[in-house]
Structure 1
Amino acid sequence: MRAAVGQAVLGAMLVAAVLAFATMQDFHGLHVAGVTRVTVAAGSLSAWLAFVAFVVRPRRSAAASATDILVVHASQTGFATELAERTAAMLRDGGKAAVARSIGELDAVPADAARLLFVVSTTGEGDAPDVASVFRRDAMGVRPRLYGLHYGVLALGDRDYANFCAFGHELDRWLRDGGATPWFDLVEVDDGDDGALRHWQRQVALACGTVATADWSRPAYGAWRLRERRLLNPGSLGGPCFHVALVPDDPASLRWKAGDIVEIGPRRARDDAELLPHREYSIASLPADGELHLVVRQVGVGSRWLTEGASPGDRIDLRVRPNASFHVPGDARPVLFIGNGTGIAGLRALLKARIAAGYRRNWVLFGERQANVDRLHVDDLERWQAEGDVERLDLVWSRESRGSRYVQDRLRASAVEVKRFVDDGASVYVCGSLAGMAPGVDAALRAIVGDRALEEMAAFGRYRRDVY
Structure 2
Amino acid sequence: MMRLLPWAMLVAGVALSVLAHGRDAMAAGVVIAYVGFCWGVLDGHRRHRAARAALANVASDDATEDAHPTLVAYASQTGFAEQLAVQTARALQGAGRPVQLVSFAELDGARLAACDQALFLVSTTGEGDAPDMASGFARRLLAGTTPDALRQLRYGVLALGDSSYAHFCAFGRALSGWLESHHAQPLFDRVEVDNGDPGALRHWQNHLSALSGGAEIADWERPRYGRWRLVERRLLNPGSQGEAAFHLALEPEDASQLAWRAGDIAEIGPCQPPDVVDRLLARLSLDGTAPVRCDSRPMTLSEALATRLLLPDSQLDILTGFTPQRLVDALPALPHREYSIASLPADGRLELLVRQTRHADGRLGLASGWLTEFAREGASIALRVRTNRSFHPPEDGRPLILIGNGTGLAGLRAVIKARAEAGHHRNWLLFGERSAAHDNFHAEEFQAWLSQGVLQRVDHAWSRDGAMPRYVQDAVSAQAATIAAWVEQGASIYVCGSLQGMAAGVQDALLRILGESTLQRLTEAGSYRRDVY
SS of the residue corresponding to residue 435 of structure 1 reads: helix
SS of the residue corresponding to residue 364 of structure 1 reads: strand
- TM-score, structure 1 length as denominator? 0.59
**Aligned-pair CA distance for 1:348:** 0.3
- Relative to structure 1, is the Cα distance of residues 134 and 391 closer, same or farther in structure 2, using a 3 angstrom cutoff? farther
Query: How many equivalent residue pairs?
Result: 307
Q: Does 1:240 align with 2:244?
A: yes
- Relative to structure 1, is the Cα distance of residues 112 and 420 closer, same or farther in structure 2, using a 3 angstrom cutoff? closer
Question: Which residue in the other structure is 2:155 paired with?
Answer: 126
Unaligned runs of 5+ in 2: 1-76, 82-123, 135-152, 160-168, 183-194, 278-307, 310-333, 358-364
**Aligned-pair CA distance for 1:401:** 3.9
SS of the residue corresponding to residue 421 of structure 1 reads: helix
1: CA distance, partners of 2:180 / 2:436: 45
**Aligned-pair CA distance for 1:395:** 1.4
**Aligned-pair CA distance for 1:301:** 2.6
Question: Which residue in the other structure is 1:269 paired with?
Answer: 273
2: CA distance, partners of 1:117 / 1:267: 43
Instruction: Judge conservation of contact 2:461–2:468 (CA < 8 Å) in 1.
Output: no
Question: Which residue in the other structure is 1:432 paired with?
Answer: 497
Aligned residue among 313, 330, 339 for 1:281: 339
Q: Does 1:228 align with 2:232?
A: yes
2: CA distance, partners of 1:129 / 1:414: 34
- Relative to structure 1, is the Cα distance of residues 141 and 413 closer, same or farther in structure 2, using a 3 angstrom cutoff? closer
**Aligned-pair CA distance for 1:452:** 2.4
Instruction: Judge conservation of contact 1:264–1:319 (CA < 8 Å) in 2.
Output: yes
Aligned residue among 444, 450, 456 for 1:391: 456
1:380 maps to a residue whose letter is E
2:155 maps to a residue whose letter is G
Instruction: Judge conservation of contact 1:134–1:459 (CA < 8 Å) in 2.
Output: no
Q: 1:293-335 deviations in whole A, cap 9, x for unaligned?
A: 0000011132012100000111100000000000000000000
- Relative to structure 1, is the Cα distance of residues 192 and 463 closer, same or farther in structure 2, using a 3 angstrom cutoff? farther
SS of the residue corresponding to residue 409 of structure 2 reads: helix
Instruction: Judge conservation of contact 1:228–1:312 (CA < 8 Å) in 2.
Output: yes
Instruction: Judge conservation of contact 1:328–1:353 (CA < 8 Å) in 2.
Output: yes
Question: Which residue in the other structure is 2:8 paired with?
Answer: none
SS of the residue corresponding to residue 272 of structure 1 reads: helix
Q: 1:90-132 deviations in whole A, cap 9, x for unaligned?
A: xxxxxxxxxxxxxxxxxx98778486899xxxxx953448996
2: CA distance, partners of 1:111 / 1:232: 50
Q: Does 1:253 align with 2:257?
A: yes
Q: Does 1:339 align with 2:404?
A: yes
**Aligned-pair CA distance for 1:192:** 7.1
- Relative to structure 1, is the Cα distance of residues 125 and 356 closer, same or farther in structure 2, using a 3 angstrom cutoff? farther
Instruction: Judge conservation of contact 2:473–2:506 (CA < 8 Å) in 1.
Output: yes
SS of the residue corresponding to residue 306 of structure 1 reads: helix
- Relative to structure 1, is the Cα distance of residues 254 and 362 closer, same or farther in structure 2, using a 3 angstrom cutoff? same
2: CA distance, partners of 1:112 / 1:220: 32
Instruction: Judge conservation of contact 1:284–1:293 (CA < 8 Å) in 2.
Output: yes
Once the two structures are superposed, the pairs formed by residues 187-198 of structure 1 within 5 Å of their partners are 193-194=219-220
2:456 maps to a residue whose letter is E
**Aligned-pair CA distance for 1:380:** 1.5
Question: Which residue in the other structure is 2:350 paired with?
Answer: 292
- Relative to structure 1, is the Cα distance of residues 222 and 371 closer, same or farther in structure 2, using a 3 angstrom cutoff? same
- TM-score, structure 2 length as denominator? 0.52
Unaligned runs of 5+ in 1: 1-68, 74-107, 119-123, 143-151, 165-189, 195-216
Q: 1:202-258 deviations in whole A, cap 9, x for unaligned?
A: xxxxxxxxxxxxxxx334100111000000000001000000000000111111000
Percent identity of equivalent pairs: 48
- Superposed CA RMSD: 3.6
Instruction: Judge conservation of contact 1:284–1:345 (CA < 8 Å) in 2.
Output: yes
Q: 1:135-182 deviations in whole A, cap 9, x for unaligned?
A: 63359969xxxxxxxxx9998454444499xxxxxxxxxxxxxxxxxx
Question: Which residue in the other structure is 1:366 paired with?
Answer: 431
Instruction: Judge conservation of contact 1:134–1:456 (CA < 8 Å) in 2.
Output: no
Once the two structures are superposed, the pairs formed by residues 59-98 of structure 1 within 5 Å of their partners are none
- Relative to structure 1, is the Cα distance of residues 395 and 129 closer, same or farther in structure 2, using a 3 angstrom cutoff? farther
Instruction: Judge conservation of contact 1:71–1:117 (CA < 8 Å) in 2.
Output: no
Instruction: Judge conservation of contact 2:272–2:370 (CA < 8 Å) in 1.
Output: no
SS of the residue corresponding to residue 336 of structure 1 reads: strand
Once the two structures are superposed, the pairs formed by residues 27-176 of structure 1 within 5 Å of their partners are 113=129, 126-128=155-157, 136-137=176-177, 156-157=204-205, 158-162=207-211
Instruction: Judge conservation of contact 2:219–2:335 (CA < 8 Å) in 1.
Output: no
Instruction: Judge conservation of contact 2:354–2:368 (CA < 8 Å) in 1.
Output: yes
**Aligned-pair CA distance for 1:269:** 2.8
1: CA distance, partners of 2:253 / 2:414: 22
Q: Does 1:356 align with 2:421?
A: yes
Question: Which residue in the other structure is 2:520 paired with?
Answer: 455
Question: Which residue in the other structure is 2:469 paired with?
Answer: 404
SS of the residue corresponding to residue 385 of structure 2 reads: strand
Q: Does 1:319 align with 2:384?
A: yes
2: CA distance, partners of 1:397 / 1:277: 34
2:349 maps to a residue whose letter is E
Q: 1:31-90 deviations in whole A, cap 9, x for unaligned?
A: xxxxxxxxxxxxxxxxxxxxxxxxxxxxxxxxxxxxxx99999xxxxxxxxxxxxxxxxx
Aligned residue among 445, 451, 462 for 1:380: 445
Instruction: Judge conservation of contact 2:259–2:345 (CA < 8 Å) in 1.
Output: yes
Q: Does 1:328 align with 2:393?
A: yes
SS of the residue corresponding to residue 508 of structure 2 reads: helix
2: CA distance, partners of 1:382 / 1:221: 36
Q: 1:363-417 deviations in whole A, cap 9, x for unaligned?
A: 1001111111112112221110111111111111111243211110111111111
2: CA distance, partners of 1:360 / 1:71: 48
Aligned residue among 474, 485, 505 for 1:420: 485
